[in-house]
Structure 1
Amino acid sequence: MKSLAGRISRLGIRTKMLLATVSMVMVVGLLMVALVEAITSSYVTRELDEWGASAATNLANNAVEPLLTGNVMEAHHLVENTVRTYDDIAYAFVEDEGGEVVAHSFSGDFPRDLSRINQPGPDEESSVRLLDTEVGLIRDIAVPVQEGRAGFVHVGVSEDFLYQQIADTRNRLILVVLLLSAGGAGMVLLFGHMAMKPLKVLAGKARRVGAGELDVVVPVRTRDEIGVLAQSFNEMAGALKDKIGEISEAREKYKSLVKNVPGVVYTIAADSGVPLYVSPKWTELTGYEVDNSPEIWYKPVHPDDREAARREFKEALAGGGEYALEFRIVHRETGEVRYVSNSGTPVTGDDNSLLCYDGIITDITERRSVEQQLLQSQKLESIGQLAGGVAHDLNNYLMAVQGYTELTMIGMDRESEEHRNLAEARKSIGRATELTRKLLLFGRRSEVDLRPTDINAVLSGLSGMLGRLIGERYRLTCDSRGNALIVNGDTGLLEQVIVNLVINARDAMPDGGEIGISASLADVDQQLLRTKAAGSSTGPGAYACITVTDSGVGIETEELSRIFEPFFTTKPVGQGTGLGLSVIYSIVEQHGGWIGVDSTCGRGTSISVYLPALERPAEAELFREAGGSRGRGRGEQILVVEDEEAVRQLLENVLQSNGYKAVAAAGAHEAHDIFSRNGNGVRLIISDVVLPDGNGVSLVNELVDGRSGIGVVLLSGYTADLVDRKQIEARGFDFLQKPFKLDELLETIDGALGGKGKS
């Protein structure tokens, strides 16, 4: 049955309609044939009985006289005449009142079984009984003669006539049914063709839409169901076109996003880690082709990170939450090591079941480099603040030691042992002063004198001295040819940078070697700045590049990130302070530049200093030392504000011994008190910038406000506040950096009292 239903389901609509129509007509026709046959059979049977009874009655009426007279011949004649007259009468016989057969139409002996087999009742006019004989079914009709007193007449009517009538009727009905079926089939075919034609058109249009032709339109020619179907198809095709357009646009946006996103976009199965989608950038990042193995994620991982990455990744997937992992990968073809970040987010279904993970792998090598450089910069900043504070205190102490040493040496015999001892002490103080200057430079608390400076001229001036400094075992090449290479720099500090770099190069080659120095103009782009000068405020453009190279032992990778840390050194104990590169780093930053380092163990190191080049070259300005002879006071009153007692007493002694009247205060409040009592007599104010109860610049501004003829000299071990420095320059105040020589102090005082530095 199922097979038949399956076969029918595969037939076309027109065939199905044809089969349904013909089947329906046939069933109805057969039902009609059966019904008509039943009706016809009943009718013909009744007619046959009536006709047979009529023939038997007629025979009975004619047989009265022969039965009463006993004329057998006449009776035979009547029976044979009846059988001959009616074709459908199979037999006829006459019985007397005693049941004896008087005459019959049988050619042989009379079948005794027919005698008295059918006798009408007393009140019946006839009796009919169906007999099954050798010649077929016979309807035996018995009619009494004179109510049975004279006998009975039997007529056997064959039912062949009955069946012939029924068969004729059935055949005519079947013919009608066949004609109706054929006509119905024809109508079905006609109307099916009319209905199927637009459906075929619709099907063709649907196939074209399926092939991608979204502009197909089905003409609507009728208002029936097919017309409604065509209209619905057009609406569906239009909606499908709009939706496909939206999907295509979304797909293009997604492709563009995946293509332009700075990383590998992927989707993985939550249970197995099998990649469901991996963007093409995977091959670009790792050098490996995309495959369907869960091991794809671990192939490019650095061997030292692989086990940890595998464990952490599996734990993250098992956890069912967001994850963010960082590890190193090795490019399959180039061998380049990169840092990557692998982060993912779980994707859940409507029932909150975990389906998969969407993730992205990004290259964070530059970010790690920036973070390390920023961390290094912050570390240097913290240590610089500490170093600057220590240097400030040391300068105060050195100021006192140097001042009292110079006071003691005044008037001594230069050939005496005491003078020589003090001279050596003063040299040691100078070396200590240079050390604090380095600390201040590192802490960015020493002011630099920036002027247009020719780097090539600086290198030319240093070349001879550098040759003597490194010794005969080293070969120095200095390439300073070409046009002027101008930067805004402090010549002394730039010389210090070059000298320190050359000394480091020398120390990296204990057995001798070659040291190269070169200067060139470099065009630096944003990419180089991001990788080499992260955290710096410098921008892209033209830079003067000073490069010092050596062929020494090189620097270990682990140590590269620490070489600019203060007090970090790879030299043996006693052969280095660890401040050389730290000071260089600070000097270069103060000049708005940055440092690049390339080093390979066993092959040497190249350190490049980048300084912003001036757009228009200019002659480097030369420093000129202030001249003039030391002045002598004539009793001018000078207010000294200094919180360090040793320095304050030194200044008082120096001023008084040189003809000045000194009034000292240990802080801002005490200075205000003194000035309020005796301010009219003060000709000069000497104040430390940093005071325990205030700021020296603010103090002198308050004291000289509205007064003329008062000079100002400010002192400090460092100048940390740029706003104060700007105020000092704006007001024209004199400034001395501690520790200073007494001659410098006296010359500055003489200039301030002579009109320079007046408010």
Structure 2
Amino acid sequence: MASPPYRVSTDLPRPLRFLAGGGEATRLILERDWSGHPLGPPESWPDILKSNLSTVLNSPESMILAWGTDRLTFFFNETYFPLLGPRLSWAMGSPFDEVWADAWAQAKPIIDDAFAGRSQRFNDLPWKLDTDRGPADTWFTFSYSRVLDPRGEVAGLFILTNETTARVLADAALARSQDELREANRMLEVRVEQRTVERDRVWQLTNDLMATARLDGHLVQVNPAWERLLGWTEEELLTRPFIEIVAADDHAETADVVARLSAGEVVSGFVDHVLTKDGGARTIMWTAVPEAGSDLFYIIGRDLTEQHNVEEALRQAQKMQAVGQLTGGLAHDFNNLLTGMMGNLELLQLRLAGGRLDDLDRFVLAAQGAGRRAAALTQRLLAFSRRQTLDPRPADVNRLIAGMEDLIRRTVGPANELEVVGAGGLWTANIDAGQLENAILNLCINARDAMPDGGRITIETANKWLDERTARSRDLDPGQYLSVCVTDTGTGMDAETAQRAFEPFFTTKPIGQGTGLGLSMIYGFARQSGGQVRIYSEPRMGTTVCVYLPRHVGAPPEEAGDDKGISVVSSGSGTVLVVDDEATIRHLIDEVLDDAGYTVINAADGAAGLKVLQSGARIDLLITDVGLPGGINGRQVADAARHLRPGLKVLFITGYAENAAVGNGHLEHGMELLTKPFSIDALTGKVGDMMKRG
């Protein structure tokens, strides 16, 4: 039976725990007989060797440690295995010159230079080696660097190795392909000369624009299609620079094409807009071929104007169809909610008019419930369109998920097993924690609904470092991200359904069991936060939805204490300035805060609010709507207030605002945000909390 791949320190005796994480490489070290080896048994190795060897064994890169100064002892990690070929079974701990006897003459001078402090990096160096693919010509990029002990003496070498054979061969293939293309172009010119008669006939009859031009930007000859399509005569075209009939927006790209032709490059698929004699413009796609040894080039242009018009009409039709679907679903849902609110308020009015005061709470609660559902629908629409106002803060996503795990378990029910796999060392994210909690809960509800007979739901977090190619495939910028993935073992979905999953009001659930806004809300939240959402699913194979969020580089979030959060207060003191253009909202806030013991000053716009701030009146807190009329928005009022009264506490209230209006998600110290519609408890709690902290 094979030995286990030692991955964790608890699998090993304490003196050998420096070998943990090495997998099969660790097994090779443990199975070797070290009794006659110059290093002796691993337990007695010096600490510097142990620490450096641990680094090599745990590295995902292909890495070697050559230890000693005379006859180097050869160590390597699992990633290096494919390079050893038939040597793998005996190479661990063997002398370097025996392991790579067939390459020692090439390696020895490099090793000597490294020992002398002249470390080098070699790119695409050819080697002829016996690998696991058999004897082969290979190419490697690698570096040798020496390891110094505490006395500054050389103790060994680090060797980082990456095989580049595939890329070198691909580059060679590309070079051959380019040679073949150049040869094809040369043959094309020969054929053009051989078929002058046929060319002349095509020259006269084709609707494509054909011409010979010089690199100085002048046309030498043009075919009749130019006058038919553009209206310019041959004389007008040949006596002026061609750039004069190119739309101004395309001048820079046209100049770039001429430069590429000057370098001998064939240019195809270049599109610009050419002016017609009657003042219009045509969209033309060009192919241009330079003539070797001269300043001439040949061009053929195809008119794409009508094709582009048809494509634009199709895009407009699709856009209107999407708008129709959105507005239809929105009208349906809002009309239902408005019916619930208006009907219950009318019933309340009738009861009051008739003197029937019993059981009135029922109508009030029903109207409030419809109002809250309308507010939730609005937030989902804003999230989908990426227009909701976020309150991003540094957040520990693992801690956030752990805090809502009980809620998720109750929501998905006992028939579904929930597993949470939090990555160790997960990076911090700068997000609106409430919106992420809402997104995760929605994904778990979708997962539950996809498993009517029960199943497993897995929530998994991970750190992701996306290179340029991977980031482009996910429509993201390269960089560091966190992923939060929710996976179910449910019915899954086909490609067409997955493609439409983020559309607003699109749902596969039965009527009355889903609004179709859950995934679109998650998509909008992720994109507005600088991230992305991806769906991976197949019918009957389950579904995985991954939310990618950018990493926050900075101080980690503080642990929330027991006294954190908003507590509803029934009484308070201090003066509050309220700036809002909606009179009903100003009066509501005035009434609520007055009952709570605060002194309230009202202003209907930013200019009036600034006048109050410029007066000698005491102001302890500024409450301002973000969107205000009169050319001064709430953020500008807050900035002016902070200039007049440094350190003044500010509470923004908003139902909808571009994120930039409140600082692109970066509120200053002493500034907070409350989203409309809000409850009385939320308002008094937020105000009380801010006043208490002041």
**TM-score interval, normalised by the smaller of the two chains:** 0.3 to 0.5
Bigger share in helix: 1
Higher-RCO chain (CA-CA 8 Å, sequence separation at least 6) = 1
TM-score in terms of structure 2 length: 0.46
